[in-house]
């Protein structure tokens, strides 16, 4: 697949000092098997992380996310959003952990992972985890595994949109929150070719 | 409030912490083949059951103790535990309950005399250390064909049923503590509801640990035949001691086609003192199987006791269109640790499950939710919804969420949501303003927070559970 243009930031360990903001974006396109292994430490007050990831699988890809976010100081904020579509015989795992250290008060940490299974033989495993040792925090996580909404499909088809296109539109809307700026066209094409 | 007052207060409030002074017989300490044979002989068990125990023992000996839970587990010396303790029977009156035992259960509010109970609401199987003391309302139940008795009696009177279902949901090799239980289990309850019968009253088991240096290893087996219904409750308490005592139980539930089982637990084992000394190590395996089409199993638990809780009531949804629910409130205070949750294994078409877990941590305790939702390849259109909320009271405790979702079916839908928060200053202020002191306010807020689960409990339990929540959190604010 000729999708080598995008260079993802190197996976690994990041330390975000007080008052700084780190933005991470990952895109995994069809044909690509990837292990994305990231650990982020929020070191000082006001440090912030925004992580967005997207995956699209249509063959026998194996995509593994391992994301560890460690809130080591008070008043930090982190958001994670990982959305993707698993087709073919692909196998996707998401293992995300948020750790809030004792005394890291006023922490805000959010983590979401949404997956759509697009074939009978694809598999998704998701393990969003929270480990919280401070009380004055706002933390939440959500995870879903499901399929395209039949009602929405029917709505579009009853208005003359062919099934295939209706499915693509749904997937585009599902992935829009995690599509990086400037890559919309490329990703929409990939979705239409699923 | 000075610490010692809080300590005294919390200690004084575990009112089930007394010891019954009754003559008891024990077998020697330790665990080996001879001990297992001794337990089996004492209970006059058939050969096949002894074989089952020995096989489990050999499996257990080869297994390592699991350490994946988010718990700081003390080393357990399995050779330093007495595996069987029973109150001595009075030879002159072999049929009657020792008045001291009757008094104990009376003090705990468990009715053993049928005439004491208002119009027959609850039938009780009372287990004291390693033996069942009595089972009430047997005759009334027998009229409907319902079997409700101690496990030992079931082995004697209904060997075919026991043999058919024992270890069919939790095999001896399932996990370390299930294997241990299979080798040394002493007593417990057995319940069989025949086809099409709706059990006319709540069935209940009450477990009491009394003797020092012992562990309790009971086994509960519930079989609900086609289109039957039963509501089952389980309660437990233990004396206050400096030593930690082991409780490793196994509960198996078989739900046939169209049957409905409701299983409720109020777990109030001694949690240890405010410094984390003593308490029960509650390491139990509970699992049910929705075997037939349209069967239903619901778990409701209120966990306030135990120094350590390791417990994951689970359901295997095998029958098409079967459904299961798990409602849980787990409270940890002082040095308590809990790692609890559920597993929903969806195998059949159109199966549904719902998980609502409310964790409350206070003091320096650690409270974890751990869950697994698995959608098998055959789980067409299966559905799960999980909600796990944690409430933190105080800055030194921890609240953790470890869900695991695995889906291999594109038509299955799984949703998981979790939040963590503390009681807000605004809520407290509002209550204080209206004349409630901080502890009352916390009790009120916590009860509101846990209401969705508490409302699922049978009436008899709901009142007790609400009080228990308040008592467990006593001394955690201020």
CB contact B381 to A (< 8 Å): no
Model pLDDT, residue B125: 79
**Do the Cβ atoms of A55 and A93 come closer than 8 Å?**
no
Model pLDDT, residue B469: 75
Q: Nearest by CB to B410, which of A120, A126, A127?
A: A120
Question: Does the pLDDT value for residue B115 go beyond 50?
Answer: no
Give A91 to chain B, closest Cα distance, Å. 9
Model pLDDT, residue A7: 40
Model pLDDT, residue B23: 76
List pLDDT tens digits, range B143-164: 899 999 889 889 999 999 999 9
Are A140 and B419 an interchain contact pair (Cβ–Cβ within 8 Å)?
Answer: yes
| DSSP structure string for B246-288 | EE--EEEEEE-TT-EEEEEEEE------TTS-SEEEEEEEEEE
Distance CA B319, CA B351 (A): 8
* Range scoring the smallest mean pLDDT among A13-27, A62-76, B462-476: B462-476
Model pLDDT, residue B4: 45
Query: A44 is written with which tokens?
Result: 């000082």
Model pLDDT, residue A194: 85
Give A5 to chain B, closest Cα distance, Å. 31
Model pLDDT, residue B382: 96
Q: Give the dihedral sign, CA B110/B115/B118/B123.
A: positive
Model pLDDT, residue B477: 59
CB contact B382 to A (< 8 Å): no
Mean pLDDT taken over chain B: 85
Q: What is the mean pLDDT of residues B47-72?
A: 92
Query: A176 is written with which tokens?
Result: 């829009």
Chain B residues whose beta carbon lies within 8 Å of the beta carbon of residue A135: 392-395, 397, 422
Question: Does the pLDDT value for residue A187 go beyond 90?
Answer: yes
CB contact B145 to A (< 8 Å): no
Are B422 and A137 an interchain contact pair (Cβ–Cβ within 8 Å)?
Answer: yes
Model pLDDT, residue B463: 72
Are A143 and B415 an interchain contact pair (Cβ–Cβ within 8 Å)?
Answer: yes
**pLDDT band with cut points at 50, 70 and 90 for residue B121:** low
* Range scoring the smallest mean pLDDT among A119-123, A168-172, B134-138: B134-138
Counting one residue from chain A and one from chain B, the pairs whose CB atoms sit within 8 A come to: 112
Model pLDDT, residue A2: 33
β-partners of residue B300 are: B264, B327
Model pLDDT, residue B226: 96
Distance CA B44, CA B127 (A): 18
Q: What is the mean pLDDT of residues B87-103?
A: 66
Model pLDDT, residue B89: 64
Q: Which residue has the higher pLDDT, B105 or B203?
A: B203
CB contact B392 to A (< 8 Å): yes
**pLDDT band with cut points at 50, 70 and 90 for residue B252:** very high
φ, ψ of residue B11 to 5 degrees: the values are -65, -50
Q: Give the dihedral sign, CA B252/B87/B309/B136.
A: positive
Chain B residues whose beta carbon lies within 8 Å of the beta carbon of residue A122: 408, 410
Chain B residues whose beta carbon lies within 8 Å of the beta carbon of residue A128: 401, 403, 416, 418
Q: What is the mean pLDDT of residues B434-442?
A: 86
Give which of B400, B409, B411, B413 to mutate to test A binding, by max A Cβ within 10 Å. B400
Give which of A93, A117, A118 to mutate to test B binding, by max B Cβ within 10 Å. A117
End-to-end C-alpha distance for chain B, whole angstroms: 6
Q: Nearest by CB to B414, which of A123, A136, A145?
A: A145
Q: Which residue has the higher pLDDT, B471 or B35?
A: B35
Q: Nearest by CB to B410, which of A122, A131, A142?
A: A122
Model pLDDT, residue B404: 94
Q: What is the mean pLDDT of residues B433-459?
A: 85
% of residues, chain A, pLDDT over 70: 94
Please choose, from the candidates B266, B338, B297, B462, the residue with its C-alpha nearest in 3D space to the C-alpha of residue B73: B338
List pLDDT tens digits, range A22-37: 999 999 999 999 999 9
Query: B389 is written with which tokens?
Result: 């909320």
Q: What is the mean pLDDT of residues A54-79?
A: 95
Name every residue whose Cβ is closer than 8 Å to that of residue B249 and which is 6 or more positions away in sequence: B181, B188, B207, B216, B217, B218, B219, B220, B284, B285, B286
CB contact B32 to A (< 8 Å): no
Q: What is the mean pLDDT of residues B288-296?
A: 96
Q: What is the mean pLDDT of residues B302-316?
A: 92
CB contact B421 to A (< 8 Å): yes
What is the bridge-based pairing of β-strands B366-375 and B260-267? unpaired
Are B416 and A120 an interchain contact pair (Cβ–Cβ within 8 Å)?
Answer: no
Question: Does the pLDDT value for residue B374 go beyond 90?
Answer: yes
Question: Does the pLDDT value for residue B68 go beyond 70?
Answer: yes
**Do the Cβ atoms of A175 and A83 come closer than 8 Å?**
yes
**pLDDT band with cut points at 50, 70 and 90 for residue B74:** confident
Chain A residues whose beta carbon lies within 8 Å of the beta carbon of residue B413: 144-147
Question: Does the pLDDT value for residue A3 go beyond 50?
Answer: no
List pLDDT tens digits, range B406-422: 999 999 999 999 888 88
Q: What is the mean pLDDT of residues A47-75?
A: 95
Model pLDDT, residue B253: 96
Name every residue whose Cβ is closer than 8 Å to that of residue A15 and which is 6 or more positions away in sequence: A40, A41, A43
**Nearest residue on chain B to A116, alpha-carbon basis:** B410
Chain B residues whose beta carbon lies within 8 Å of the beta carbon of residue A144: 413-416
Q: Nearest by CB to A117, which of B400, B401, B410?
A: B410
**Nearest residue on chain B to A144, alpha-carbon basis:** B415
Are A145 and B375 an interchain contact pair (Cβ–Cβ within 8 Å)?
Answer: yes
The three-class DSSP label of residue A10 is coil
Chain B residues whose beta carbon lies within 8 Å of the beta carbon of residue A143: 403, 405, 414-416
What is the bridge-based pairing of β-strands B24-26 and B85-87? antiparallel
Q: Would you tell me the crossing angle of helices A163-175 and A184-192 to the nearest 10 degrees? A: 140
Query: B35 is written with which tokens?
Result: 């001990």
**Residue B216 DSSP one-character state:** B
Question: Does the pLDDT value for residue B1 go beyond 90?
Answer: no
* Range scoring the smallest mean pLDDT among A20-24, A80-84, B22-26, B294-298: B22-26
Model pLDDT, residue B239: 76
The three-class DSSP label of residue B443 is helix
Question: Does the pLDDT value for residue B233 go beyond 80?
Answer: yes
Give B394 to chain A, closest Cα distance, Å. 6
Are A128 and B375 an interchain contact pair (Cβ–Cβ within 8 Å)?
Answer: no
Name every residue whose Cβ is closer than 8 Å to that of residue B425 and which is 6 or more positions away in sequence: none
CB contact B72 to A (< 8 Å): no
pTM: 0.86
List pLDDT tens digits, range B170-192: 999 999 999 999 999 988 889 99
Q: What is the mean pLDDT of residues B191-220?
A: 87
Question: Does the pLDDT value for residue B260 go beyond 90?
Answer: yes
% of residues, chain A, pLDDT over 90: 86
User: Strand (E) positions, B70-121?
Assistant: 85-87
Model pLDDT, residue A113: 95
**Nearest residue on chain B to A145, alpha-carbon basis:** B414
Name every residue whose Cβ is closer than 8 Å to that of residue B43 and which is 6 or more positions away in sequence: B152, B155, B186
Distance CA B374, CA B348 (A): 11
Model pLDDT, residue A6: 36
Distances (CA, A) of B245 to A178, B76, B122: 51, 9, 29
Q: Give the dihedral sign, CA B101/B102/B106/B109.
A: positive
């Amino acid at each position: 697949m000729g999708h080598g243009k995008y260079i993802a930031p190197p996976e690994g360990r990041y330390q975000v000092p007080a008052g700084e903001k780190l933005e991470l974006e990952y895109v995994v396109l069809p044909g690509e098997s990837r292990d994305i292994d990231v650990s982020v430490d929020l070191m000082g007050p006001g440090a912030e992380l925004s992580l967005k990831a997207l995956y699209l699988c249509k063959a026998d890809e194996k995509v593994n996310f391992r994301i560890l976010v460690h809130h080591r100081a008070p008043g930090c904020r982190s958001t994670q959003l990982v959305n993707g579509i698993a087709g073919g015989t692909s196998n996707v795992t998401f293992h995300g952990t948020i750790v809030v250290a004792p005394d890291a008060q006023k922490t805000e940490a959010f983590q979401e992972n949404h997956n759509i299974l697009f074939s009978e033989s694809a598999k998704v495993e998701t393990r969003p985890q929270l480990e919280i040792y401070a009380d004055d925090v706002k933390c939440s996580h959500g995870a879903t595994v499901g399929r395209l909404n039949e009602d929405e499909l029917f709505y579009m088809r009853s208005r003359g949109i062919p099934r295939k296109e209706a499915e693509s539109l749904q997937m585009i809307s599902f992935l829009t929150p995690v599509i990086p700026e400037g890559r919309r066209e490329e990703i929409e094409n990939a979705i239409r070719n699923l | 409030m000075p610490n010692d007052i809080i300590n005294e207060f919390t200690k004084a409030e575990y009112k089930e912490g007394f010891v019954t002074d009754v003559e008891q017989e024990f077998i020697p300490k330790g665990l080996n083949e001879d001990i297992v044979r001794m337990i089996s002989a004492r209970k006059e068990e058939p050969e096949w059951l002894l074989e089952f125990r020995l096989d489990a023992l050999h499996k257990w000996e080869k297994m390592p103790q699991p350490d994946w839970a988010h718990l700081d587990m003390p080393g357990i010396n399995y050779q330093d535990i007495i595996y069987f303790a029973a109150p001595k029977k009075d030879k002159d009156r072999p049929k009657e309950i020792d008045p001291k035992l009757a008094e104990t259960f009376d003090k705990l509010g468990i009715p053993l005399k049928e005439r004491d109970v208002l119009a027959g609401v609850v039938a009780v199987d009372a287990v004291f250390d390693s033996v069942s003391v009595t089972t009430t309302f047997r005759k009334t139940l027998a009229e409907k064909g319902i079997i409700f008795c101690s496990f030992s009696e079931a082995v004697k009177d209904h060997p075919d049923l026991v043999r058919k279902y024992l270890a069919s949901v939790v095999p001896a090799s399932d996990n370390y503590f299930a294997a241990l239980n299979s080798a040394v289990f002493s007593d417990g309850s057995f319940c069989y509801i025949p086809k099409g019968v709706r059990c006319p009253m709540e069935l209940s088991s009450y477990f009491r640990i009394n003797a020092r240096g012992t562990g309790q290893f009971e086994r509960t087996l519930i079989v609900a035949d086609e289109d039957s219904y039963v509501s089952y409750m389980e309660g437990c308490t233990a004396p206050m001691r400096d030593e930690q005592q082991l409780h490793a139980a196994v509960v198996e539930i078989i739900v046939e086609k169209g049957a409905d089982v409701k299983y409720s637990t109020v777990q109030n084992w001694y949690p240890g003192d405010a410094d984390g000394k003593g308490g029960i190590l509650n390491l139990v395996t509970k699992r049910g199987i929705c075997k037939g089409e349209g069967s239903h199993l619901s778990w409701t638990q209120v966990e306030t006791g135990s120094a350590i809780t390791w417990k994951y009531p689970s359901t295997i949804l095998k029958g098409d269109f079967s459904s299961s629910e798990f409602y849980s409130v787990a409270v940890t205070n002082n040095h308590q640790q809990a790692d609890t949750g559920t597993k929903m294994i969806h195998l059949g078409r159109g199966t549904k499950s719902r998980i609502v877990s409310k964790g409350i941590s206070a003091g320096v305790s650690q409270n974890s939710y751990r869950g697994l939702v698995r959608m098998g390849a055959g789980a067409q259109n299966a559905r799960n919804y999980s909600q796990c909320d944690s409430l933190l009271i105080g800055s030194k405790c921890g609240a953790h969420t470890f869900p695991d979702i695995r889906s291999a079916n594109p038509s299955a839908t799984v949703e998981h949501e979790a939040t963590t928060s503390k009681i807000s200053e605004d809520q407290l202020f509002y209550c204080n303003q209206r004349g409630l002191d901080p502890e009352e306010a916390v009790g009120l807020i916590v009860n509101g927070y846990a209401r969705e689960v508490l409302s699922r409990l049978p009436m008899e339990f709901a009142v007790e559970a609400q009080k228990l929540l308040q008592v467990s959190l006593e001394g955690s604010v201020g």
